[in-house]
């Protein structure tokens, strides 16, 4: 009787196919962690998906030396036209166009025109395009969250190892300024042993989710074909990587430690169904979503690592509250947290502004010293998007291992199916697959805080004005 009164799922072992596939690890073909692909003097980039996010990426790439945007692909003509406009405004040549149905990307991936396929489609197309890119002998860089299922995670890993092509997860939040500072502090031992980390994606997306898409515009702040509303049906953390990525990097996950198992929980939906009903009264377009069984507002995961650390992740895109990715790191010597109020503390002592400046002077990584100011000028979430793109291109041009490899893409993304299973099974725990198949114990930590200064310049589109400040022209 007490159990019957619970409002959560009543059947155990729902979605058993997820649990069943956790232990099925294909044999490792080649370890892509730390793998340096042959240098590319010029990186020819092809974009697939040029909506809101993809168009920003095209623009950012026009500022980076050694990049040629050679191909643009989207299912919508307006998106490709918009991409061409960005190139012509930057004084760059037109790219070859691939405008067709959903599978138009195949031709791009088979062409000899590009070295890197940059993927910013809705989630369902991420892995199909990434696989086609690697099979076509090209590196893939994939927006977040990269994969939707465990099968997709393993497909990425298997294909990257076999083809020796990078499959990079474009987790821009790893390159934000405070995240980079704390990563370097973690590398230099300032935190002592890291014990616990917290991350989140808490972002009220009401404006974007209920914005009706207009197919004839490159981007209008709406999700093409309302794709994100469709993803809202899934009772899982569908967007785990913004919070998780920076914590994993600080904890050397896949490079010295590994996520061992997780448990997840989700609230009911208290807002989405009501908002849909409200919108449907204003506009019949929204009637198609009335009565849908939506994901709950808040979901969270608790993850334990093999080295005994803990991580907590939260995800809420439908509650009226301020933005937060938390980004909290708690160690035996130091504590840092970015949201709601950014601070660093040693024991009970929260550092003051002067001490904070000293920490920044000492621990700001070379990468940020080199491109941080320019990144702020170019923009993209305050600059972090540009730091990420610049670093990716610099690694490819100099034959350096990438910071966020296929094992990161798989292990950060797999939180979606794992949380889905745990939520459906009263928060029972589930193992996190070892995508590195044991190599995590010996893989070296990424060295981006050391060698991140790189050699790639930012195009002369950015010039210093008379006051020495940088201007974007």
Looking at beta carbons only, is 75 or 430 nearer to ligand NAD? 75
- To ligand NAD, the closest distance from the beta carbon of 238 in angstroms equals 9
- Looking at 32, 50, 236, 424, which residue binds ligand NAD (CB under 6 A)? 50
- Residues of this chain, 17-36, that bind ligand NAD according to CB under 6 A: none
The distance of Cα 393 from the centroid of its chain, to the nearest Å, equals 17
Q: Which residues of 200-224 are buried (b: 16+ CB within 10 A; e: fewer)?
A: bbbbbbbeebbeebeeeebbeebbb
- To ligand NAD, the closest distance from the beta carbon of 110 in angstroms equals 14
- Looking at 21, 25, 52, 426, which residue binds ligand NAD (CB under 6 A)? 52
- To ligand NAD, the closest distance from the beta carbon of 307 in angstroms equals 28
Residue 208: partners with Cβ closer than 8 Å, 6 or more residues away: 221, 222, 223, 228
- Looking at 22, 32, 43, 48, which residue binds ligand NAD (CB under 6 A)? 48
Cβ 167 vs Cβ 435: under 8 Å: no
- To ligand NAD, the closest distance from the beta carbon of 336 in angstroms equals 22
Contact map string, positions 431 to 450, toward ligand NAD, x by CB under 6 A: --------------------
- Looking at 58, 67, 75, 272, which residue binds ligand NAD (CB under 6 A)? 75
- Looking at 79, 157, 236, 448, which residue binds ligand NAD (CB under 6 A)? 79
- Helix axis angle, 52-61 to 384-398, nearest 10°: 60
Q: What are the DSSP calls for 307-364, one per residue?
A: TS-EEEEEEESSSSS--B---EEEESS-EEE-SSS-EEEETTEE--HHHHHHHHHHH-
Looking at beta carbons only, is 123 or 421 nearer to ligand NAD? 123
- To ligand NAD, the closest distance from the beta carbon of 118 in angstroms equals 11
Confirm or reject binding of residue 76 to ligand NAD (CB under 6 A).
Answer: yes
Looking at beta carbons only, is 174 or 276 nearer to ligand NAD? 174
- To ligand NAD, the closest distance from the beta carbon of 92 in angstroms equals 20
- Residues of this chain, 163-222, that bind ligand NAD according to CB under 6 A: 172, 219
- To ligand NAD, the closest distance from the beta carbon of 343 in angstroms equals 24
Bridge partners for 167 per DSSP = 140
Helices marked H in 136-271: 150-163, 177-187, 206-209, 227-231, 241-250
Looking at beta carbons only, is 57 or 329 nearer to ligand NAD? 57
Binding part of the chain for ligand NAD, among 48-56, 266-274, 390-398, 405-413 by CB under 6 A, reads 48-56
- Longest C-alpha distance within the chain, in Å? 76
Residue closest to ligand NAD when measured from CB atoms: 51
Contact map string, positions 223 to 252, toward ligand NAD, x by CB under 6 A: xx--x-------------------------
- Residues of this chain, 107-146, that bind ligand NAD according to CB under 6 A: 120-123, 125, 143-144
| Apex 340 CA angle, 335 and 343, nearest 5 | 35
Cβ 168 vs Cβ 120: under 8 Å: no
- To ligand NAD, the closest distance from the beta carbon of 82 in angstroms equals 9
Looking at beta carbons only, is 49 or 433 nearer to ligand NAD? 49
Residue 338: partners with Cβ closer than 8 Å, 6 or more residues away: 178, 179, 325, 326, 327, 328
- Looking at 32, 45, 46, 51, which residue binds ligand NAD (CB under 6 A)? 51
Residues in the chain, overall count: 473
Confirm or reject binding of residue 325 to ligand NAD (CB under 6 A).
Answer: no
Looking at beta carbons only, is 119 or 334 nearer to ligand NAD? 119
What is d(CA 228, CA 216) in angstroms, rounded to the nearest whole number?
19
Contact map string, positions 356 to 395, toward ligand NAD, x by CB under 6 A: -------------------------x--------------
Residue that is written with structure tokens 């962690």 in the block = 33
Q: Reduce the DSSP state of residue 451 to 3 states and report it.
A: helix
Looking at beta carbons only, is 105 or 178 nearer to ligand NAD? 105
Cβ 396 vs Cβ 115: under 8 Å: yes
Q: What are the DSSP calls for 37-93, one per residue?
A: PPP-SSEEEEEE--SHHHHHHHHHHTTBTTEEEEEEEESSHHHHHHHHHHHHHTT-P
- To ligand NAD, the closest distance from the beta carbon of 108 in angstroms equals 9
The distance of Cα 272 from the centroid of its chain, to the nearest Å, equals 24
**Which run of H or E residues covers position 130?**
helix 123-135
Cβ 219 vs Cβ 82: under 8 Å: yes
The CA–CA distances, whole Å, from 451 to 367, 369, 401, 431, 448 equal: 8, 12, 11, 34, 6
* Per rule CB under 6 A, count of chain residues that contact ligand NAD: 28
Q: Which residues contact ligand NAD (rule: CB under 6 A)?
A: 48-54, 73-76, 79, 102, 104-105, 120-123, 125, 143-144, 172, 219, 223-224, 227, 381
């Amino acid at each position: 009787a007490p159990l019957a009164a619970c409002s959560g799922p009543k059947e155990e072992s729902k979605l058993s196919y997820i649990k069943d596939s956790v232990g099925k690890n294909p044999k490792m073909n080649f370890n892509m962690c730390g793998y340096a692909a042959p240098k590319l003097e010029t990186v020819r980039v092809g974009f697939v998906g040029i909506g809101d996010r993809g168009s920003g990426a095209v623009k950012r790439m026009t500022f980076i030396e050694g990049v040629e945007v050679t191909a643009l692909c989207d299912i919508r003509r307006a998106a490709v036209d918009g991409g061409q406009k960005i190139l012509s405004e930057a004084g760059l040549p037109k790219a070859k166009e691939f405008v067709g149905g959903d599978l138009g990307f195949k031709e791009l991936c088979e062409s000899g025109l590009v070295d890197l396929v940059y993927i910013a489609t809705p989630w369902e197309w991420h892995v199909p395009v990434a696989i086609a890119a690697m099979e076509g002998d090209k590196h893939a860089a994939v927006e977040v969250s990269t994969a939707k299922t465990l099968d997709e995670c393993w497909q990425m890993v298997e294909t990257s190892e076999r083809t020796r092509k990078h499959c990079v997860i474009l987790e821009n939040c790893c390159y934000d300024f405070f995240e980079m500072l704390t990563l370097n502090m973690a590398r230099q031992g300032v935190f002592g042993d890291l014990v616990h980390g917290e991350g989140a994606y808490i972002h009220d997306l009401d404006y974007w989710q209920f914005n009706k898409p207009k197919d004839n515009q490159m981007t209008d702040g709406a999700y093409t074909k309302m794709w994100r509303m469709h993803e809202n049906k899934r009772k899982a953390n569908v967007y785990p990587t913004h919070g998780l990525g920076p914590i994993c990097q600080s904890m050397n996950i896949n490079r010295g430690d590994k996520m061992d198992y997780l448990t997840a929980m989700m609230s009911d939906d208290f807002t989405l169904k009501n908002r849909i009903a409200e919108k449907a009264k204003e506009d019949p377009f929204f009637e198609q979503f009335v009565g849908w069984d939506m994901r709950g507002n808040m979901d969270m995961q608790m993850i334990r690592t093999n080295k005994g650390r803990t991580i907590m992740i939260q995800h809420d895109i439908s509650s009226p509250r301020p933005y937060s990715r938390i980004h909290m790191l708690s160690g035996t010597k130091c504590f840092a947290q970015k949201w709601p109020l950014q601070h660093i503390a040693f024991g009970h002592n929260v550092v003051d502004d002067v001490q904070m400046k000293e920490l920044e002077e000492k621990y700001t990584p070379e990468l940020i010293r080199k491109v941080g100011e320019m990144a702020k000028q170019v923009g993209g979430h305050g600059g972090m998007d540009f730091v990420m793109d610049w670093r990716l291109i610099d690694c490819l041009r100099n034959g350096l291992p990438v910071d966020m490899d296929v094992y990161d893409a798989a292990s950060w993304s797999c939180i979606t199916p794992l949380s889905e299973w745990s939520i459906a099974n009263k928060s029972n725990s589930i193992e996190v697959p070892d995508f590195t198949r044991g190599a995590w114990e010996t893989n070296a930590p990424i060295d981006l805080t050391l060698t991140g200064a790189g050699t790639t310049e930012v195009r002369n589109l950015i010039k210093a004005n008379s006051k020495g400040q940088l201007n974007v022209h």
